[in-house]
Structure 1
C-alpha cells in the first residue's frame, strides 16, 4: 500500500517541478509580461507627471486649431454700393494742345527734307490726350496726374452726370506726378479720402476711370503690395500696387476700397504690350492729400532740401571708405550755394544719419527730408577720411522740378 502511494506522489511532484521550470522559462504561457520587460519605479514628482501627460497626449490624435467655415456672406456679394458712392466723383479729362510742326522729330530728318525741300508742312497740329480725375472738394478741386494735363492749352472735364466744363490748372507737382485742377461747377459729388496708411495687402480694390475713352469703367482686383519704390517713375515714390486692370485713360482716376473711399490715384502700369498685365500703381491718398493742400495754399509743393546728390552705399564703396556697414549714402555732388555747401559738406563725404535717424535707403531719406520745413536747423552725421563728424545745416526749399516725360510706361 505504501509502495503504491509513493509511486503516485513522485510523478505528481515531478510534474509540479517541471511546471515551475517551464513557467520561469516561458512566462507568456500565463499571459504575463515579456521576460525582457522591466519596470522602473517612477518618483511621484510634477515634472515626471507632465512628461507622462505629454506622452499620453502624443499617443492620441493630434490636436489642431480648425478654422471656422468660410462665411462668404460676410463680404459683399456686390460692390455696386461702393461704386455708386465713388463713381460720380470720377471725371473724364480731355486735354489738347497745339503743336508746331518744328516739334515733330521727322521735320528735321534729312531723309524727309530731300522730298519736301524747304517746303516742309508748316501747319500746326492739335494733339489730344485723355485721362481721368477725381473730385475731392465741394469747391471744385480735382486731383489728376501731371502727365495727363502736361503742357495742355485747354482742359475739358466731363462729369458722370453729363455736365462738361473747362478746367483751370491750380498747380502741378511733376515730382509726384500730381496736378490739381479747379472746375466752376456747383453741387459737385465728392469722393471720401481714406487713410492710405491702413491699406493692407489683400484688400479689395476697385479702379475707376475712362480707359481708351470708352466711358467710365470699373475694374476689380486686390492690393498686391504697398510702399513700392525704386521704380524710376517719380522722384518721390510710395506706390500702392494693384492687379485691378489699369489701361490708357485710367491715369488720374480713382483706386477705391470696398466701401468706396479713395485709396489712391491711378498713375502707371508695367506692361510689355501697353495694356494691363496686372501690375498697376497708384499714388497713396495721404500723399495726394498733402500735395493738394500745399498746392491750394501755396500754388506749389514746398519740400525740404539739402542741396546734395547722393548714391547708394555698396560693399566696394564701404570697403574703400573703411566702413564696416552698408548704412549711409555717399555724397556724389554738392549744389553750389545750397544748404549742404554752406554747411561745409563735400563730395565723397558719407552721410550716415539725418536728425538722429540712420540712413538705410536714399529715397526714404529724401522723403523724410522733404517733409522738413525750410529754415529748420538739422543735425547730420557724416564720415570724412574715416572720421565721424557732426554737422548742422539749415534746410532749404527744394527747387521746383521742370516738366518732364515719365521715365516708365504710364497708363496714358
Structure 2
C-alpha cells in the first residue's frame, strides 16, 4: 500500500525522529558554512497545523506559503507558526493531488523571502532539510543528494505524486512534509515530501519534490486555482519476469497497459490493453515510473511518438497528449 511510504502527519505519531546524518569527510569543508545557511533560511520555513495534523511549509510570496497537499488535507483553514513563534491563520487557496502540493495565503504579509533554485542539484551535493518533524519546529538535518528521478517503490500504480523525486539521506520524519530541502547556498532545491520507514529496513531514505515542479504547480494554482497535467488515459502495470514468462513477451521491461479509458488519448491513438510501452518521446521506458517522469516533460495537445510491443511485434504509434481530468 502507498500509505506505507507516505509521511503520516499526525500529533498521535509515536515514531522517534531520525538523528541528523553526520557529514562525511568529503563534506567537511562545506559543513562550516551550514550554520550561516540555516540562520538565513530558517525564517522562511514555517509549521502548518491543520486540525490534529502538523506539517511544514516554505514561504513562496509576500503572503503565500507552499506546502504539501497531504499536510492540509481537506482543511480550508490552517494555522501557520513562524520561526519567531508568532502565529497567523492561513487560508488554503488550492491543492493539487497529482503532485501533492498546496498553496496557503497567510494573514501576515511581508513573509521572509527565499530563493527557489529550479536547476536540479547534483548527486553527492550537500543538502539541508528544515521542517517540523513530530512537532519539533525548525529542526535541521543534513546529508547529500542520493539520487535523482526517484520514485517511492510501487507508487506509480496508485498516484503520480511520488515519482521523479530527489532522494536524500538527510533525515526526514513525519512532520517534515512541506518543508525545505536546501543547498549550501540556502536555495530551495526541493519540497520535502516522503520517506521510507525504517521498519522496511531502510536507513535515511527520504524524498523531495524538485523545485522546478513545485514552482510550476504553485504558479498555476495561484493563477488558475488548479494545475494542468498531461494525460494518457491508461491504467499501467510493471512488466515483471513473471508477466514476461506468462505472456511470452520479447522484453522483460516496460509499462504494460492494463486498461484504456474510453474516448481518451490512448484509445484515439490505437493503444490496446496488453500493449507494452517501451519508448515514449524517443526515450526508453523500463518502468511505469520512467513513463510518468517522461510525462512531466510534455504538454496537453502535444503529439508524441511511442513504441509498443503488441503480440511480439513492435509498433510505432503517435499520441496527442490530453489533459488530466483531475
Classify the TM-score, shorter chain. Answer: 0.7 to 0.9
**What residue ranges of structure 1 are gaps of 5+ in the alignment?**
1-69, 97-127, 401-412
Contact 2:239–2:253 (CA under 8 A) maintained in structure 1: yes
Q: Who is 1:168 aligned against?
A: 91
- Partner residue of 2:224 out of 267, 276, 298: 298
Question: In 1, distance between residues paired with 2:197 and 2:28?
Answer: 35
Contact 2:131–2:139 (CA under 8 A) maintained in structure 1: yes
Question: CA offsets per residue over residues 156-213 of structure 1, 9 Å max, x none?
Answer: 1122234422212222122222212122432221121224523322x32222112322
Contact 2:231–2:265 (CA under 8 A) maintained in structure 1: yes
- Partner residue of 2:194 out of 268, 273, 278: 268
Contact 2:308–2:315 (CA under 8 A) maintained in structure 1: yes
Question: CA offsets per residue over residues 300-338 of structure 1, 9 Å max, x none?
Answer: 221111211222233454466665433543221111121
- Partner residue of 2:308 out of 352, 365, 382: 382
Contact 1:380–1:392 (CA under 8 A) maintained in structure 2: yes
Q: Cα–Cα, structure 1 residues 189 and 200, in superposed 2: closer, same or farther, change >3 Å?
A: same
Find the residue that maps to 2:295 and give its secondary structure: helix
Contact 1:240–1:282 (CA under 8 A) maintained in structure 2: yes
Q: Who is 1:23 aligned against?
A: none
Q: Which moved more, 1:307-316 or 1:85-94?
A: 307-316
- Partner residue of 1:210 out of 110, 132, 146: 132
Contact 2:239–2:287 (CA under 8 A) maintained in structure 1: no
Relative to the length of structure 1, the TM-score reads 0.65
User: Are residue 351 (structure 1) and residue 277 (structure 2) matched?
Assistant: yes
- Partner residue of 1:244 out of 160, 167, 170: 170
Find the residue that maps to 2:71 and give its secondary structure: helix
Contact 1:303–1:371 (CA under 8 A) maintained in structure 2: no
Structure with higher helix content = 1
Q: Who is 1:33 aligned against?
A: none
Find the residue that maps to 2:37 and give its secondary structure: helix
User: Are residue 219 (structure 1) and residue 145 (structure 2) matched?
Assistant: no
Q: Which has the higher contact order (CA 8 A, sep 6+)?
A: 2
- Partner residue of 1:141 out of 64, 68, 74: 64
Q: Which moved more, 1:287-296 or 1:236-245?
A: 236-245
Contact 2:126–2:183 (CA under 8 A) maintained in structure 1: yes
Q: Who is 1:229 aligned against?
A: 151
Question: In 1, distance between residues paired with 2:302 and 2:263?
Answer: 17
Find the residue that maps to 2:171 and give its secondary structure: coil
Q: Who is 2:117 aligned against?
A: 194
Contact 2:120–2:189 (CA under 8 A) maintained in structure 1: no
TM-superposed CA distance for 1:71, in Å, is 10
Q: Cα–Cα, structure 1 residues 389 and 224, in superposed 2: closer, same or farther, change >3 Å?
A: closer
Question: CA offsets per residue over residues 72-103 of structure 1, 9 Å max, x none?
Answer: 9843525221012110100111112xxxxxxx
Find the residue that maps to 1:348 and give its secondary structure: coil
Relative to the length of structure 2, the TM-score reads 0.80
Number of residue pairs matched by the alignment:
297
Q: Which runs of 4+ in 1 moved over 6 A?
A: 70-73
Find the residue that maps to 1:379 and give its secondary structure: strand
Contact 2:33–2:184 (CA under 8 A) maintained in structure 1: no
**What residue ranges of structure 2 are gaps of 5+ in the alignment?**
1-24
Question: In 2, distance between residues paired with 1:208 and 1:398?
Answer: 32
Q: Cα–Cα, structure 1 residues 254 and 334, in superposed 2: closer, same or farther, change >3 Å?
A: same
Question: In 2, distance between residues paired with 1:391 and 1:200?
Answer: 35
